[in-house]
Each structure stands twice: as structure tokens, then as C-alpha cells.
Structure 1
Amino acid sequence: MELRHLRYFVAVVEEQSFTKAAEKLFIAQPPLSRQIQNLEAELGIQLFERGSRPLKTTEAGQFFYQHAIKLLSNAEEIKSMTKRIGIADRTITIGFVGSLLFGLLSPILYLFKQRHPDLKIEMMDMTTHEQILALKNGRIDVGFGRLRISDPSIKRILLREEPLMVAVHSRHPLAQHREGLYLADLLDQQLFLYPNIPQANFSSQVRGIFSEYGLEPRNVRVVRELQLALGFVAAGEGVCIVPQSARNIHLSHLIYLPLLDEAAVSPVFMTMRNLDLSEDIRYLLDCVYQVYEAEGIPHQRTTF
């Protein structure tokens, strides 16, 4: 006996007609009649009163119908629960550089979670270099970083070029330049950069932008992280170059001024394994573009 036999039988009982049941099941009537006859032969009992109009079940047929309904209901429940468990087991692990959480990565992830509530999302704070290694060894599924690192096994998508800004104390002499500053204005300032790790990072990226203009800041101090650098600035110890998204970090007497040099931008990349372009990653990329469009962020859509 198979579940389809139960479905056929239940349809005939509820429609009280082989013809109507066949139409409901989208099958021809003769095969349906044969399936019911086979079911009766297997059970060794008669399920329907022959010749009755409308079609009626025997006492045994009514008993079988009640239990067939329960079995079919249980089967659907098991199917539904199995699907939910399968979905709940789906996990996407995302690596990110910390500064991106202060910007648009947070609303992107929020939108992604709202669209896919059954998908488990794990977040790992790591440098771009660490993300590349983590992608290659399977620790993460997608990464968000700022460095342009090439690897034949990694696909990199440029999401946007984020403008850079200068964080200064509200009473700093540079604070009066509300329209913005140039890199040349910072050469003699105590300049805080971050992070202080040996690999290429945001601080080396900023130094590279100075170099593009043939400039070299004279007083540089590299600290552990963004928040520490901004803490020093808020204490009146100097200035700090940060991505535009960092202006969401509010400290007393801390203001942010635009950097007016054309090259004063920090790229934001999304990276994934070349051979692992899952639907979940496509959905995540779509959420990125939806947030960018809602915020009016210039970008160019990339498909894969």
C-alpha cells in the first residue's frame, strides 16, 4: 500500500464519485477504479457499497477513511518538518572588516535576514587577508573587505568606492573648513591611522593615496583599531582619516570633514569562492544593491 492509494481513496470518498475524483486528481477514471480495486484486494475487504448513488463507503470503508486522513496528515506534517529542519541547517558564514559594520553592511545584513529568516547567518570579524584564507579553507562563504587582493580561486566584486573623511576635534583649527580638506592640509598634523597589523591594510591604503599625490605625512601614529584612533582625536590629540561610514560613530566634540582629493576613496569588495556561487550569495548581493539604491549610493550592478 502506498500513500498515493490513500490519496485516491480519500478523493473518491470525499467526492462521492469516481468521475469527480478522477477530475480532481487529474487522472483518467479507469486507472483510478483499478487502483481502488487493487486496494480492496490488498485489504481483502470491500470499501464502497457498489451501486449506491451517490457513492457511499461500507462500515469498514468509513473506518479506513478516518485513519487514511490521519496518515496523510501525518505524512504532510513529516514532510513539512523535514523541509524546515533542512532549511534551518542552511548556514552562510560572512567575514567582514569591522569598519563596514558602521556603514551600509548593517542594513544590508538586516534586509538579508528579513528576506531569509530560516537561513542561519554567522558573522566573523577579520581582515581582508584573513578572509581570503578563510574562503579558501571553507571557514567562511563570503567576505566584505577593502583591499584589492587577487587570487585565482577567489571571485572579487567591487561594490562601491567609499569616500574618505577626516575626523577632527570640533575646536581643532581645521574644523573651520566645513566644506572639506585636502590631503596636503594634513601633512603637518598628528595623523592617526589604523590598524597596526603587518599585512597590507587600511592604514597602508591611506599611505598609498598620499603617495599618489607625491605627499608624505610627517607625524603618523598607527594604532590598533578605528575606535581607538577616534578616541585620540576626540581627546584633541590629532586627526584621523576614516571611511565615510565611520561618521556614524558619535563621540563628544568629534566632527567629520570631507576629503576633497579625487583619489581619496576606499573600495568595498565582496569576495567569494570562484566555484561556490550559491543562491544564498546571489540573494545577499541583491540585498547589497537594494540598500545602495535606497540610499542613493552610486554603484554598478554585477551579475554572476
Structure 2
Amino acid sequence: MELRHLRYYVAVVEEQSFTKAAEKLFIAQPPLSRQIQNLEAELGTQLFERGSRPLKTTEAGYFFYQHAVKLLSNAEEIKAMTQRIGLVEKTVTMGFVGSLLYGLLPKIVYLFRQQHPYLKIELIEMSTKDQIIALKEGRIDVGFGRLRISDPAVRRVLLREEPLMVAVHASHPLAQQKEQQEGVYLADIVDENHFLYPSHPKPNFSTQVRHLFSEHGLDPKNLKEVREIQLALGLVAAGEGICIVPESARTIQFPHLHYIPVLDDSAKSPIFLAIRCMDESDHIRSLFDCIYQVYDLEAIQYDRAVI
């Protein structure tokens, strides 16, 4: 049981509604309901009277609510006093690859800011390779990237594997087939005109896509590298070709642009967090907690790393 579970529970009790509590917490209602169900399972008792409108607690639920409020109040007091003691401004600098801004990274950073109001957080866009160098030189404290780059001075943690999709124009035959099929395989698109991004520096996501085709014994001939993902998708929307992107890129919308899942098992883009070896600061641990809180609420599967 963690403090966030207590916050969720208290919000539901005070709002007497899962829907209103979800709105107050700025999260979706289904993940909130799952968290409360998990809490009841952990406690081994029912906390709410089933079917009651408005929502009412059981006797055990009310007892738990009273003590949860006290614990949360004590936790906030301890946090505030500790922060006042260390009022000297501290900075956590994060490097990230641009494509992660279309996924869950903004939610993670926002939650981290909310939980650490006295902490200065700086974000710097840079390639995964540059992040490794910046970590070793002390210019950043943590890096979010997509490439498996090993270095004895850096610890790399796999956060999750993000599925890949292919972006096509609405008039493309693949878009027409989408209604009959769940997705496409790499072998189905090997002869298409592909836009890869970014064009530099290497290695990067375009390198990852090339390797993916190679691992399947495929040799696409019509490849063109462009500067960034927005340019690649703009060209796809113009009917110039197709582009393989991470699933989170679906938030980028152009007229007549369709996204289709890539069905090959290995068609995934890993998301890594990199820190300096032996860095066990409280801020790093708290950042990991924020990541997994967001993953829980978004129902994202992951293997929690020990930090």
C-alpha cells in the first residue's frame, strides 16, 4: 500500500462518486476503480457498500478513511517541513528524445513537479547517445531515450516496450484494408516508399527501424531520411509515402493520416531511463515512483525496476 492509494481512496469517499473523484484527481475513472479494487483486495475487506447512491463506506471503510486522512496529513507536514529545511534550490535536469513528448513523458514530468514544488526541473532535448555523454559529464541527471547504448558508467533501465505503427495516407491500399485486418506485417510494407527520421545524429530511431527490417531478413530499397517526425508525417499526409512510428505518435494528427498497427512480435520501440551508476538519490527514486504511478493509471504493463 502506498500514499497514492490513500489519496485515491480519500478522494472517492469525500466526493461520494468515482466519476467526480476521477475528475478531481485528473485521471480516468476506470484506472481509479481498479486501484480501489486492488486496495480492497490487499486489505481483504469491502470498503464501499455496493450499489449505494451516493457512494457510502462500510464500517471498515469509514475506519480506514479516518486513519487515511491522518496519515496523509502527517505525510504532507513531514514533506513541507523537510522542504523548508532544505530551501536551497535544487535542480534535476532531464534529457529526452523528442518523440517521447507525444507519449507519457509530459504526464510523468508534470506529476513529478506537483510532488516536488521546491525542486527546479529542466528539460533538454537530446539524442540517446548525447544523453550518455551528458550524464557522464554531469550536465544532466537522468535521460529518457529509445536506444540500447551500453556504458559502464551509466545504468540503463527498460521502462517499457512501445508498439510500433505505420502511418499511411487515407487513400493508400493499406488504409482500405484496415477494416478487414488488425494490422500489417513488415513484409507487407517492405516495397513501400518509407520516410525515416531523424536524419542525424546516428544511431537514432531511423537506425532502429533499419535494424528491425534486417532482423526479419527484409531489405527495403525505398528509404528516405528526413529531419524530424513532424516532417515525415506531413509528407505521408501529402501521399508521398509511409512512415513507421511509435504508437504514441498517433496524437500527431494531419488530415487524411491513418495509423495501422505493425503486427510482428519484435515491432516495438523500447523506452529507457538512464542514470549514473550508483546514483541512488531520493529524487531519482521519486521519479521512478512517478513513472509507475502514471503507468498504473494508464493501465500500461511494465516490470518494475528496483532502485
Q: TM-score, normalised on structure 1?
A: 0.71
Which amino acid letter does the alignment assign opposite residue 266 of structure 2?
A
Aligned to 1:122: 122
Residues 83 and 118, structure 2, Cα contact 8 Å, conserved in 1: no
Distance verdict in 2 for CA 1:253–1:88, change over 3 Å: farther
Structure 1 position 84, deviation (Å): 4.0
Aligned to 2:172: 172
Structure 1 position 197, deviation (Å): 1.2
Q: Structure 2: how far apart are the matches of 1:291 and 1:82?
A: 25
Structure 1 position 113, deviation (Å): 1.0
Structure 1 position 303, deviation (Å): 1.1
Select 2:298's aligned residue among 270, 295, 300: 295
Which amino acid letter does the alignment assign opposite residue 129 of structure 1?
K
1:67-106 correspondence to structure 2 within 5 Å: 84=84, 86-87=86-87, 89-106=89-106
Structure 1 position 251, deviation (Å): 1.1
3-state SS of paired residue (2:87): helix
Residues 127 and 201, structure 2, Cα contact 8 Å, conserved in 1: no
Structure 1 position 81, deviation (Å): 11
Residues 88 and 120, structure 1, Cα contact 8 Å, conserved in 2: no
Q: Structure 2: how far apart are the matches of 1:81 and 1:151?
A: 39
Deviates more, 1:80-89 or 1:228-237: 80-89
Q: Structure 1: how far apart are the matches of 2:111 and 2:248?
A: 18
Q: Structure 1: how far apart are the matches of 2:257 and 2:88?
A: 43
Aligned to 2:259: 256
3-state SS of paired residue (1:214): coil
Aligned to 1:135: 135
Aligned to 2:218: 215
Q: TM-score, normalised on structure 2?
A: 0.71
Q: Structure 1: how far apart are the matches of 2:145 and 2:276?
A: 14
Q: Structure 2: how far apart are the matches of 1:83 and 1:116?
A: 9
Distance verdict in 2 for CA 1:82–1:155, change over 3 Å: closer
1:267-286 correspondence to structure 2 within 5 Å: 267-286=270-289
Aligned to 1:190: 193
Structure 1 position 276, deviation (Å): 2.1
What do you get for the CA RMSD once the two structures are aligned? 1.7
Q: Structure 2: how far apart are the matches of 1:148 and 1:83?
A: 36
Q: Structure 2: how far apart are the matches of 1:190 and 1:85?
A: 59
Which amino acid letter does the alignment assign opposite residue 211 of structure 1?
S
Gaps of 5+ in 2: 1-79
Distance verdict in 2 for CA 1:145–1:116, change over 3 Å: same
Residues 102 and 249, structure 2, Cα contact 8 Å, conserved in 1: yes
Distance verdict in 2 for CA 1:105–1:152, change over 3 Å: same
Q: Structure 2: how far apart are the matches of 1:130 and 1:195?
A: 14
Aligned to 1:32: none
Q: Structure 2: how far apart are the matches of 1:118 and 1:150?
A: 33
3-state SS of paired residue (2:305): coil
1:4-43 correspondence to structure 2 within 5 Å: none
Cα deviation 1:102-157 (Å, max 9, x = unaligned): 00111111111111111110000000000000000010000000000111110110
Aligned to 1:266: 269
Structure 1 position 183, deviation (Å): 0.6
Cα deviation 1:154-210 (Å, max 9, x = unaligned): 011000010000011111111123221111111111100011114211001011111
Structure 1 position 101, deviation (Å): 0.7
Residues 135 and 141, structure 1, Cα contact 8 Å, conserved in 2: yes
Aligned to 1:9: none
Q: Structure 2: how far apart are the matches of 1:107 and 1:98?
A: 15
Which amino acid letter does the alignment assign opposite residue 111 of structure 2?
L
Which amino acid letter does the alignment assign opposite residue 199 of structure 2?
N
Which stretches of structure 1, 4 residues or longer, exceed 2 Å deviation after superposition? 80-88
Q: Structure 2: how far apart are the matches of 1:189 and 1:283?
A: 44
Gaps of 5+ in 1: 1-79
Q: Structure 2: how far apart are the matches of 1:165 and 1:214?
A: 19
Aligned to 2:65: none
Identity of aligned residues (%): 62
Structure 1 position 226, deviation (Å): 0.6
Greater Rg by CA: 1
Structure 1 position 85, deviation (Å): 8.4
